[in-house]
Amino acid sequence: MDRRRLLTLALAAPALLPATRLIAAEPEIFSVSGQAIRGIDPVAYFQQSAPVSGGADMLMWKGATWAFSSADNRAAFEREPERWAPAYGGYCAWAAAQGYLAPTVPEAWTVHDGRLYLNASLRIRDRWLRDVEGNIAQADMNWPGLVG
């Protein structure tokens, strides 16, 4: 490459950088049509050990609508949302460990050490479960750079 082309590329590169920053960041909470966990009650994973559809009891938190199967579950979430909300904003925990974001399905879940983790599929949850502690450590390191 001759000097003229190299100089042209060097001068053009800074002009291209702002365009890459215009790409919208992903929201902190994964939602489908504005619904966190696809309308599933996050508290029910802990109290009923199952994904339970939320009803009319809803609230907004971190830009998403959270649905609850009872007023008691809504009240519990309102008092301590960080306790009940899924790790990594409800994005796939295994994907976060790998360094990227992926959607989740409510059926692919794990509660580990008092924290809810969601995965993209049951097959991916099996991968997640092979090394939960290692995956959490890696996802915790990756998470701050994945959203925001």
Q: Over the stretch 74-102, which tens digit does the pLDDT of each residue have?
A: 999 999 999 999 999 999 999 999 999 99
Identify the pLDDT of residue 4: 55
How is the chain split into domains, by residue range? Answer: 28-81, 86-148
Q: Under a CB-based contact definition with an 8 Å cutoff, are residues 26 and 43 in contact?
A: no
Residues facing residue 64 across a β-bridge: 61
Tell me the CA distances in angstroms from 71 to 27, 54, 77, 115, one per residue in order: 27, 10, 10, 21
Identify the pLDDT of residue 25: 75
Does the predicted TM-score (pTM) go above 0.85? no
